[in-house]
A and B are shown apart, each in its own frame.
Chain A
Amino acid sequence: MSRNLLISLYQRIFFEKWKTLRPFTPLLFSLAIFVGIALPTNPLMAQKTITGVVYDADNITLPGVHILELGTINGTVTNLDGFFELTLKSDDAILEFSYIGFEKRDIRVGARDTLVVSMQESSNMLDEVVVTALGIEKVRKSLGYASQIVEGADLSQAREVSVMNALSGRVAGVQINRSGTGPGGTSKVVIRGYASIGGSNTPLYVVDGMPMNNPQGGGGQFGGVDYGDGISNLNADDVASITVLKGASATSLYGSRGANGVVMITTRKGSARRGIGVDLTSSVTFETPLVLPELQNRFGRGSNGQFPLDSNGEILDGIRTSWGARTLGQTDFNGRPIVNWTGQPSAYEAQPNNFQDFFRTGATSQQTLAFSGGDQKTQFRLSLSDMRSQNIMPNSELERFSVNLNVNSQLSDKLKVSGKINFVRQSAFNRPNLTLSPDNPVNALLQMPRNVRLQDLEDFRNPDGSVRVWTNATGNDQWNNPYWATGLNTNEDQRDRVLGFVMAEYQFNDKWKLHMRSGTDFYYDQRQNRSATGTIYRVTPDRSFYSTVDSRVEERNTDFLLSLRQQLTADVKVQASVGANQLTIRSNSLNTVAQGLNIPDFFVIQNALSVQSSEAIANKEIQSVYATSQFDFRDQLFVEISARNDWSSALPANNRSFFYPAISTSWVFNELFENNKWGPLTYGKIRASIAQVGNDTGPHQLDLLYSVNALNHGGQTFGQIIPNQPPVDLKPELTTSYEGGFDVEFFYNRLSLDVTVYHAGTRNQILNVPVSRASGFATSRVNAGLVVNRGVEVALKATPIRTKDFGYDTFINFTRNRSFVEELAPNVESYQLGGTYDQFGVRILAEIGRPFGDIYADRSFLRNENGDIVVGTNGLPMPDPNGRKRIGNFQPDWMVGFGHNFRYKNITLGALFDIRRGGDIFSFTNAVLAASGNAEFTENDRLEWYAGAGGYLVDGVLEDGRENFIEVNPQTYWQYVGGRASAFAEEFIYDGSFVKLRELTIGWILPTRILETTPFTKASFNVVGRNLFILHKNTIGFDPEATFNAGQDQGIEAFAFPSTRSFGFNLNVSF
């Protein structure tokens, strides 16, 4: 039988061959299927073509209405003017018109050539079908948990390089933080709070049903480069919609990897139509820095109000601060001309723009050309996309090219085959270096005294080839010339990525259906990092450095799902599915470091003075079976039970198998009333769920291991015990979540409210807990800890005005989440999140009995019982002998996304505000700027002090209880509390609240009468602005979102790359 044949073919190809064949074989296979399926499509028969227009009850045309010729898969969608055209298959066609929120209509075409269709708003828009975990389609009203959908059109308008940034503010319960690491940097996405202490807390991304690997990037305290995250490889123009599954009930079928929520992305597909449709999206946006450091411009290089000159009038290169004289453009000192660091006479004047002048206007162009078409059997969409971005940092570029092909084919009445192949090449040149790296231009620029002229640094080489820098430093130094840093010390990365799958769907009959799917996500990364010969801070003999990383990651998923829909009794329907999945992840990388070069600035490994290489390999496999069934009682009470069992290769044999169930229920109570409505209430649902999700751990972590080092001494190789105490009887971790809520709608969806409360606790967390090093180990892998997340999500939508010419709708998403640490490992009272940041004088902790993410300072002010700062006899705050003190917490209190959309005839106006309340952030930058006297907040009281008529007065009390009256030199104060390493962090911690105008778009849709004179079927033009203004913030001189990595250690800003505002144009045409 053909079915058996298919199964055996499936088995042969996906289970046997894959073990031996090269990873791209399945992709070639899928390509072969595409070629086989997509090319020989039947030419369209000369059938009748019908045109028409669809209106709603208010006589407004409805765009996007789905039209299907019943009994076929022939269909189309109305255009922006509500117009459609469809070539019919049969002589006696019945067309089904469907549109979200409206009653379906079936219309027999008969002899008509045109149709004018009027559609009524649905009394029950919840017959809308939504896609849930594993791609299972369910009626929306049946869901026992919250799920929020964002349409692709809303996202692609934003013209963000990473589609996740465009999601910011649009979904309740989701926090998206773009880090201060430059364009193409990692977006920190957290759904319903921080659950995992040791893990990543990153949601699972599922694109068209296939998980997409999402590596994260970021820096550490001494630098690093953010190579971006995996999800940003996706082209936003290909995205049809994004569904965010938040709680465990929604995600449990995705298993362990869905424990932090799932972002399901559906890409655009082709539809049947006459000829080939072409969509062109073209945009250009420009970027400028959004927040600039707040610097003083009244005092120049020097100390204690003096010129940085010795008694002979020679410049004192050692003085690197802006505590000098008032900058009045003086040209002489005691009758001798003032020379600057270049040795040339120069006026002593402030350079107000010596930071921003370094940057240029960034520009990003994104072009997507999509072809789509097909007939009743086979549809395809092929898109080509090209993105080029010029960073605001000179000599820094990002490019992305992608091809995406989607094919669906109804091979027979019962068998449907579909597939996708997406190729992405992303290359970046010279991403910004971060934090304390001397190559971070922000670091290099902010250290400059306020009268150092930027143009004096443009010539960045001395005649002898060494770095020309304003410190005139000889020997090694951490102060670099920003032009050398960005011009010569470059990095480069390229990612080639292929995502693809093939899927067969067999509809046995109206009850049974089988899906089988196999897909791969494969990427190859190459990275190079170079420091030019003579780099000031490098310690190799020639002061150069070169390193390369080559890494390959491959993830394969093969699954099937057998589904049944059955009417059990007159009142009860059941929808059930059973399935299985096999996941294999393999990664390997080769890291090569060259210390020094033979031929200067010739960056190739064989030119290295010496080479050190190391390999990293990881392999993991998870097998899963799962089942779900949903019972539907009279279309108003729904109960869904699901369960999954995973077998993970990363867990010990006896705990390798783990099971977790979920149950959810919803009651659609408006169905109790007459006509399913009660007064203005046209829909009401109460829902509740309990679910568990298990989670495993990384591979190769069960044994006590010894490794050989790449380094040696005198030719003697050495090795070590890996200081991770292996686990005893490691169990999978388990998240249990409870969720309840209600959805109500009034006036047929003109006003809707969705409220969810939840409580989720993650137990048995698999942690590499730090242990007392005296044990001989650094960490011990144990099951420990309990982090509880509680929260409220509210999504309110309203369409107050909807007339033919004018429309207004608005939405508010409110999110409040508390991540609270209830338990840690035995003997462990706090757990340090992320790296050690003693250089910054702060550390980020998870502490028992405290909210996740406390910020601690290593040094703090001594305070009396009233909390007043105690001031010593020298007029300076006294240090608290106990030193360490909690100074904040990075979790926001609440977040609100607030959007408005106006439409007047063909013109649209949209605005999105993003509001965050609370969440502290420490600014290392400001501590450094304080000590150097560059910060604007350091300029007061100086002249008074130099004149002997006042000074900086610390707001505090003396030891004897009197109010402090001892004035000090402002320089003394700011160098005491600020600076590197010895800073009092509490002086530089800020409330991270903000109100941002996240997005503003003005669009113009070309009306039909104009379009008729053009070859286009659709055209629109948008003006787009992103992050235009920060309407409110409490941080000084930096964006409150400016963290430097996507780890758990948020709440620190350190020489963050400036965030940008962007504005530009976006043109969409179809023909």
Chain B
Amino acid sequence: MKSLVKLSTKVLLLALIIMASACTEGFDELNVSPTAVQQDRFDENLLLTRSLVYGALRYTEFQRAQQLYANHYVQYYSIAVDYFQTGRYISRNDWSTDYWNAAYSDFGMQAQQVIEITSKNPEKVNKTAIARIWKVFIMHRLTDFFGDIPYSEAFSGDITPAYDTQENIYTAMLEELDAAVQSFNGSKTMGFGSSDVIFGGNVAKWINFANSLRLRLAIRVSDVAPALAEQHVRAVIADGRLIADVRDGAIMPYGRDFGNATENLQPMAILRSFNEYRVSTTLLDLLEDNQDPRLAMYVEPTEGGQYAGLQNGLNPEEINDLNRDDYSKESQLISNQFSPTILLSHAEVEFLLAEASVRGWNAGSAQTHYENGVNSAIQFWVNVDANLRSRLSESDATVLPDINLADDAIANYLAQPAIAYDPSRAIEQIITQKWLANISQGFESWSEYRRTGFPRLNPIPNTDGLSETGSSLPPSRVRYPIEEETLNGANYDAAVARQGADLMTTKIWWDVKD
């Protein structure tokens, strides 16, 4: 009996020893992720590329925020299917949430990570500066979309960051752009090289972009905070380093063949293939009324050879009663797989300077800037056309419109009574031209529409009364993600109390036009 107990004890001990020795030895190693790495092994260049590509909006975010909200709000396009409702000024939480989420926890965060990683190394100061500029680009779109948002406490890991007022955010962004430009140091390692898919590592172009963006931001607040605006506009003009050529604008280029999965895809090309929208009556009418040479560049005739715009804001019943194929799509120039996305064009800089000039901020001739802007805007698509034709096979190029721009076409267009510069209607003309120049870039156009009331848009029918703003009023902002109420409730409540109810009709800080 005793020996048995002894033996059993031995067996038990032996087994326990086997278990215990195996126990936690190697556990740390085992729990190291085999498919991801920690910061010490990572490369900031990879983060920057993602921040640029996603920040310029890949097709998912492009569709959900820029296309389904802004591009419909400013009536570039009209929804032609019964299952999308944003064009009727009805909230769609998941899409706005997707954009908010991507801007913060994806492309904004990648920019922030670049700043954090590179600022540990003084040699990389220029990389830090580029990431700072890009982060401002991301954040200004976000605050223009929602209003007050977390800015100073954002990206900090604090899971309940406070909302900053848009006024503070704009002030901070303008200063940040100034500081970033000041921090460039020619003696240090220059940019990101080929990882910089916007400017190809050209640091000078980043400086031009930063100043041009600063100009955009300053003009945006010119009604609500004229002193602040003037200070920055004058500073930028004094510095002089701005986007000065149609070929030097900030664009996101798109690369190889559509079918190449390793390639980031041109967002409009994907959206076009979904066949869910048509060119808006508003856009088509404006192009046709003024014999705009961009008609063929922007709009594709229907199969019946007609140009036909679709009214904005039809409800499902109305959409189901019509035939999509009777209405025009946008042209392949805009939505070819090789077409670029415009982020900030030379034309826009000219229009900004024109407005600065109208406001008397020592920016030269408003008319010259206006005409330069129109020229640049049209020339941009001529260049795109040439570029596409050089890259597409002959058979693939047949989808492109025959733009056939006569030598005097732009001049003739500028001579149109409604188009010729008229100081009494300068702001309307400038903003309307900017809207035309920024086709498909609804974020910027919607902001400028809210600021100035231009271009003149058509009311939507709102037959069933579901519009959250009424029929004639495009939304003033987009509602915060529902998750912010539940996950960051106290700060959300404070922001709403300050800014006004979380509705589409609540105006944001810089939107002071009646």
User: Which residue of chain B has the shortest Cβ distance to A829 in the bound complex?
Assistant: B486
Asked, given contacts A617-B35, A621-B30, A720-B110, whether A828 binds B273 with beta carbons under 8 Å apart, the answer is: no
Say if the beta carbon of B85 comes within 8 Å of chain A. Answer: yes
- Chain A residue numbers with a CB within 8 Å of B50 are 709, 718-720
In the complex, identify which listed stretch (A291-299, A492-500, A534-542, A911-919) lies at the interface while the others stay far away: A534-542
Q: Size class of B's contact patch?
A: 35 or more
Distance between Cα atoms of A830 and B34 in the complex (Å) = 33
A838 touches B94 (CB 8 A): yes
Say if the beta carbon of B161 comes within 8 Å of chain A. Answer: yes
Which 9 A-B residue pairs are closest in the complex by CB-CB distance? A318-B323, A719-B46, A838-B94, A980-B83, A596-B259, A774-B150, A718-B50, A772-B488, A595-B261
Asked, given contacts A15-B22, A838-B92, whether A975 binds B274 with beta carbons under 8 Å apart, the answer is: no
Distance between Cα atoms of A653 and B468 in the complex (Å) = 53
B159 touches A777 (CB 8 A): yes
A318 touches B324 (CB 8 A): yes
- Chain A residue numbers with a CB within 8 Å of B22 are 15, 582, 623
- Chain B residue numbers with a CB within 8 Å of A612 are 261-262
Q: Which of A879, A971, A982 has the most CB of B within 10 A?
A: A982
In addition to A3-B11, A711-B262, A712-B49, 13 A-B residue pairs with Cβ atoms within 8 Å of each other are A475-B275, A512-B4, A540-B259, A611-B261, A710-B262, A714-B253, A773-B105, A773-B483, A774-B155, A775-B161, A777-B157, A982-B85, A982-B316
A719 touches B320 (CB 8 A): no
> CB within 8 Å of A: which of B1-21?
4, 7-8, 11-12, 14-16, 18-19
B445-475 toward A: CB 8 Å interface, digit per residue (1/0)? 0000000000000000001111010000000
In the complex, identify which listed stretch (B37-45, B203-211, B233-241, B382-390) lies at the interface while the others stay far away: B37-45
- Chain B residue numbers with a CB within 8 Å of A944 are none
Distance between Cα atoms of A771 and B82 in the complex (Å) = 33
CB distance from B48 to the nearest CB of A (A): 8
Say if the beta carbon of B70 comes within 8 Å of chain A. Answer: no
Question: Which of A564, A774, A858, A972 meets B154, CB within 8 Å?
Answer: A774
> CB within 8 Å of B: which of A920-971?
931, 971
CB distance from A668 to the nearest CB of B (A): 31
Distance between Cα atoms of A943 and B320 in the complex (Å) = 20
In the complex, identify which listed stretch (A236-244, A326-334, A698-706, A812-820) lies at the interface while the others stay far away: A698-706
Distance between Cα atoms of A304 and B320 in the complex (Å) = 11
Say if the beta carbon of B167 comes within 8 Å of chain A. Answer: no
B197 touches A776 (CB 8 A): no
CB distance from A550 to the nearest CB of B (A): 15
Distance between Cα atoms of A750 and B90 in the complex (Å) = 65
Q: Can you offer 10 A-B residue contacts whose CB atoms are under 8 A?
A: A11-B18, A318-B320, A474-B325, A476-B274, A621-B27, A653-B24, A705-B37, A719-B46, A719-B49, A721-B109
> CB within 8 Å of A: which of B105-161?
105-106, 108-110, 112-113, 149-150, 153-161
Say if the beta carbon of B487 comes within 8 Å of chain A. Answer: yes
Say if the beta carbon of B421 comes within 8 Å of chain A. Answer: no
Chain A contact residue count (CB 8 A cutoff): 117
B320-344 toward A: CB 8 Å interface, digit per residue (1/0)? 1111111000000000000000000
A716 touches B197 (CB 8 A): yes
A979 touches B100 (CB 8 A): no
CB distance from B276 to the nearest CB of A (A): 9
CB distance from A322 to the nearest CB of B (A): 11
B323 touches A836 (CB 8 A): no
CB distance from B280 to the nearest CB of A (A): 18
Distance between Cα atoms of A819 and B234 in the complex (Å) = 64
- Chain A residue numbers with a CB within 8 Å of B443 are none
Say if the beta carbon of B424 comes within 8 Å of chain A. Answer: no
Asked, given contacts A649-B27, A776-B109, whether A539 binds B262 with beta carbons under 8 Å apart, the answer is: no
A771 touches B486 (CB 8 A): no
B34 touches A617 (CB 8 A): yes
CB distance from A10 to the nearest CB of B (A): 9
Distance between Cα atoms of A649 and B53 in the complex (Å) = 37
Distance between Cα atoms of A562 and B19 in the complex (Å) = 14
Asked, given contacts A512-B8, A704-B39, A718-B49, whether A623 binds B23 with beta carbons under 8 Å apart, the answer is: yes
CB distance from A504 to the nearest CB of B (A): 12
Say if the beta carbon of B270 comes within 8 Å of chain A. Answer: yes
User: Which residue of chain B has the shortest Cβ distance to A843 in the bound complex?
Assistant: B482
A705-732 toward B: CB 8 Å interface, digit per residue (1/0)? 1111111111111111111010000000
Distance between Cα atoms of A509 and B159 in the complex (Å) = 61
- Chain A residue numbers with a CB within 8 Å of B194 are 715-716
Q: Which of A615, A827, A832 has the most CB of B within 10 A?
A: A827
A706 touches B31 (CB 8 A): no
A717 touches B90 (CB 8 A): no
Say if the beta carbon of A508 comes within 8 Å of chain B. Answer: yes
B320 touches A975 (CB 8 A): yes
Say if the beta carbon of A7 comes within 8 Å of chain B. Answer: yes
Say if the beta carbon of A501 comes within 8 Å of chain B. Answer: no
Say if the beta carbon of B315 comes within 8 Å of chain A. Answer: yes
B484 touches A772 (CB 8 A): yes
In the complex, identify which listed stretch (A124-132, A396-404, A870-878, A1045-1053) lies at the interface while the others stay far away: A870-878
B38 touches A704 (CB 8 A): yes
Distance between Cα atoms of A541 and B32 in the complex (Å) = 40
B275 touches A477 (CB 8 A): yes
Question: Which of A593, A618, A780 meets B261, CB within 8 Å?
Answer: A593
A541 touches B257 (CB 8 A): yes
B253-275 toward A: CB 8 Å interface, digit per residue (1/0)? 10111111111100000100111
Say if the beta carbon of B73 comes within 8 Å of chain A. Answer: no
CB distance from A559 to the nearest CB of B (A): 9
> CB within 8 Å of B: which of A813-856?
827-830, 832, 836, 838-839
CB distance from B193 to the nearest CB of A (A): 9
Say if the beta carbon of B93 comes within 8 Å of chain A. Answer: yes
Distance between Cα atoms of A529 and B158 in the complex (Å) = 42
B18 touches A775 (CB 8 A): no
A703 touches B482 (CB 8 A): no
- Chain B residue numbers with a CB within 8 Å of A703 are 32-33, 38
- Chain B residue numbers with a CB within 8 Å of A320 are 320
Say if the beta carbon of B104 comes within 8 Å of chain A. Answer: yes
Say if the beta carbon of B84 comes within 8 Å of chain A. Answer: yes
B343-386 toward A: CB 8 Å interface, digit per residue (1/0)? 00000000000000000000000000000000000000000000
> CB within 8 Å of A: which of B487-514?
487-491, 503
B83 touches A647 (CB 8 A): no
- Chain A residue numbers with a CB within 8 Å of B468 are 881
CB distance from A827 to the nearest CB of B (A): 5
Asked, given contacts A508-B4, A542-B259, A975-B320, whether A705 binds B487 with beta carbons under 8 Å apart, the answer is: no
Say if the beta carbon of A650 comes within 8 Å of chain B. Answer: yes
A706 touches B36 (CB 8 A): yes
CB distance from A647 to the nearest CB of B (A): 5
- Chain B residue numbers with a CB within 8 Å of A578 are 12
A721 touches B37 (CB 8 A): no
Say if the beta carbon of B28 comes within 8 Å of chain A. Answer: yes
A620 touches B486 (CB 8 A): no
B316 touches A979 (CB 8 A): yes
Asked, given contacts A475-B273, A707-B35, A975-B320, whether A772 binds B47 with beta carbons under 8 Å apart, the answer is: no
User: Which residue of chain B has the shortest Cβ distance to A473 in the bound complex?
Assistant: B275
B15 touches A580 (CB 8 A): yes
- Chain A residue numbers with a CB within 8 Å of B303 are 474
CB distance from A311 to the nearest CB of B (A): 13
Say if the beta carbon of A625 comes within 8 Å of chain B. Answer: yes
Question: Which of A610, A775, A872 meets B158, CB within 8 Å?
Answer: A775
User: Which residue of chain B has the shortest Cβ distance to A979 in the bound complex?
Assistant: B316
User: Which residue of chain A has the shortest Cβ distance to B163 in the bound complex?
Assistant: A774
B43 touches A719 (CB 8 A): yes
- Chain A residue numbers with a CB within 8 Å of B257 are 541, 609-610
Asked, given contacts A610-B263, A772-B159, whether A619 binds B34 with beta carbons under 8 Å apart, the answer is: yes
B260 touches A610 (CB 8 A): yes
Distance between Cα atoms of A319 and B323 in the complex (Å) = 7
User: Which residue of chain A has the shortest Cβ distance to B154 in the bound complex?
Assistant: A774
- Chain A residue numbers with a CB within 8 Å of B464 are 874, 876, 972, 976
Asked, given contacts A7-B14, A705-B38, whether A700 binds B105 with beta carbons under 8 Å apart, the answer is: no
